[in-house]
Chains A and B, each alone.
Chain A
Amino acid sequence: GENVEQHPSTLSVQEGDSAVIKCTYSDSASNYFPWYKQELGKRPQLIIDIRSNVGEKKDQRIAVTLNKTAKHFSLHITETQPEDSAVYFCAASRGGNTPLVFGKGTRLSVIA
Chain B
Amino acid sequence: AAGVIQSPRHLIKEKRETATLKCYPIPRHDTVYWYQQGPGQDPQFLISFYEKMQSDKGSIPDRFSAQQFSDYHSELNMSSLELGDSALYFCASSLVLGREGPTGELFFGEGSRLTVL
Contact = CB atoms under 8 A, between A and B. Distances in A.
Given A100-B45, A102-B43, A95 B109 contact: no
Interface residues of A, number: 24
Contacts of B50: 97
Contacts of A95: 99-103
A51 interface: yes
Given A43-B90, A43-B111, A98 B56 contact: yes
Nearest to B97: A96
B100 A96 contact: yes
Nearest to A89: B42
A32 B103 CA distance: 7
Contact of B58 (A43, A96, A99): A99
Contact of B108 (A31, A43, A103): A43
Given A96-B100, A97-B94, A97-B98, A102 B42 contact: yes
Interface string A73-110: 00000000000000001000101111111111100000
A103 B56 CA distance: 19
B105 A49 contact: yes
Contacts of A44: 43, 90, 108
B48 interface: yes
Nearest to B110: A43
A30 to B, nearest CB: 10
A101 B111 CA distance: 18
Most buried by A among B44, B58, B100, B108: B108
Contact of B45 (A31, A32, A41, A101): A101
Contact of A42 (B30, B33, B110): B110
Nearest to A90: B42
20 contacts: A32-B102, A34-B106, A41-B88, A42-B111, A43-B90, A43-B109, A51-B102, A51-B103, A89-B42, A95-B103, A96-B96, A96-B100, A96-B101, A97-B30, A97-B99, A98-B103, A100-B33, A102-B43, A105-B41, A105-B42
Interface of B: 30-31, 33, 41-45, 48, 50, 55-56, 58, 88, 90, 94, 96-103, 105-106, 108-111, 113
